[in-house]
Amino acid sequence: MTAPDTLKVACQQVAPRVGDLAYNRELGQRAIREAAALGAQVIVLPELVQSGYVFNDREEALALAETLDGPTLSLWKALAEELQVVIVGGFCERLDDQAVANSAALVEPEGRVTVYRKAHLWDREKLVFTVGEQPPPVVETRFGAIALMICYDLEFPEWVRLPALAGAALLCAPVNWPDGPRPAGERPAEMVRVQANAAVNRMFIAACDRCGDERGVAWVGGSLIVDADGYPLAGAMRNAQGQLLLAELPLADARHKHISRHNHVHLDRRPALY
Amino acid sequence: MTAPDTLKVACQQVAPRVGDLAYNRELGQRAIREAAALGAQVIVLPELVQSGYVFNDREEALALAETLDGPTLSLWKALAEELQVVIVGGFCERLDDQAVANSAALVEPEGRVTVYRKAHLWDREKLVFTVGEQPPPVVETRFGAIALMICYDLEFPEWVRLPALAGAALLCAPVNWPDGPRPAGERPAEMVRVQANAAVNRMFIAACDRCGDERGVAWVGGSLIVDADGYPLAGAMRNAQGQLLLAELPLADARHKHISRHNHVHLDRRPALY
Q: Is A165 on the interface with B (CB under 8 A)?
A: no
The answer to whether residue B261 is domain-embedded is: no
Do A273 and B135 lie within an 8 Å CB cutoff? yes
pLDDT values of chain B reduced to their tens digit, one per residue, 274 residues: 455 689 999 999 999 999 999 999 999 999 999 999 999 999 999 999 999 999 999 999 999 999 999 999 999 999 999 999 999 999 999 998 889 999 999 999 999 999 999 999 999 999 999 999 999 999 999 999 999 999 999 999 999 999 999 999 999 999 999 999 999 999 999 999 999 999 999 999 999 999 999 999 999 999 999 999 999 999 999 999 999 999 999 999 999 999 999 999 999 999 999 9
Q: State the amino acid at position A169 in one-letter form.
A: A
| pTM score of the predicted model | 0.97
The answer to whether residue B86 is domain-embedded is: yes
Compute the distance between CA of residue A183 and CA of residue A17 in angstroms, rounded to an integer. Answer: 30
Q: State the amino acid at position B140 in one-letter form.
A: E
Distance from CA of A134 to the nearest CA of B (A): 8
Closest-CA residue to A116 (of A125, A107, A124) = A107
The answer to whether residue A167 is domain-embedded is: yes
Nearest CB among B121, B186, B195 relative to A231 is that of B186
Helix (H/G/I), strand (E/B), else coil: B118: coil
Q: What is the pLDDT of residue B2?
A: 53
Do A192 and B192 lie within an 8 Å CB cutoff? yes
The answer to whether residue B106 is domain-embedded is: yes
Tell me the mean pLDDT in the region A42-66: 97
Q: Which domain holds residue A68?
A: 6-255
- Residue A15 contacts residue A210 (beta carbons within 8 Å): yes
Contacts of B199 in chain A (CB under 8 A): 155, 189, 192-193
- Residue A101 contacts residue A95 (beta carbons within 8 Å): yes
Compute the distance between CA of residue B272 and CA of residue A159 in angstroms, rounded to an integer. Answer: 11
Contacts of A192 in chain B (CB under 8 A): 192, 195-196, 199, 230
The answer to whether residue B38 is domain-embedded is: yes
Q: State the amino acid at position B249 in one-letter form.
A: L
Nearest CB among B123, B133, B200 relative to A263 is that of B123
Q: Residue A124 above 60 pLDDT?
A: yes
Q: Is B195 on the interface with A (CB under 8 A)?
A: yes
Q: State the amino acid at position B198 in one-letter form.
A: A
CATH code for position B118? 3.60.110.10
Q: Is B192 on the interface with A (CB under 8 A)?
A: yes
| CA-to-CA dists, residue A154 to A121, A149, B153, angstroms | 11, 7, 20
Q: What is the pLDDT of residues A98-110, one digit of tens each?
A: 899 999 999 999 9
Q: Is A140 on the interface with B (CB under 8 A)?
A: no
The answer to whether residue A260 is domain-embedded is: no
Q: Cα dihedral angle (A51, A55, A61, A63), rounded to 10 degrees?
A: -80
Q: What does DSSP assign to residue B194?
A: H
Q: What is the pLDDT of residue B3?
A: 56
Number of inter-chain CB pairs under 8 A, A vs B: 133
Distance from CA of A34 to the nearest CA of B (A): 29
Q: What is the pLDDT of residue B4?
A: 64
Using CB atoms within 10 Å of the CB of residue A216, give its burial: 0 to 12 exposed, 13 to 18 middle, 19+ buried: exposed
Q: How many domains does chain B have?
A: 1
Do A199 and B192 lie within an 8 Å CB cutoff? yes
The answer to whether residue A51 is domain-embedded is: yes
Per-residue confidence band for A3, with pLDDT thresholds at 50, 70 and 90: low
The answer to whether residue A213 is domain-embedded is: yes
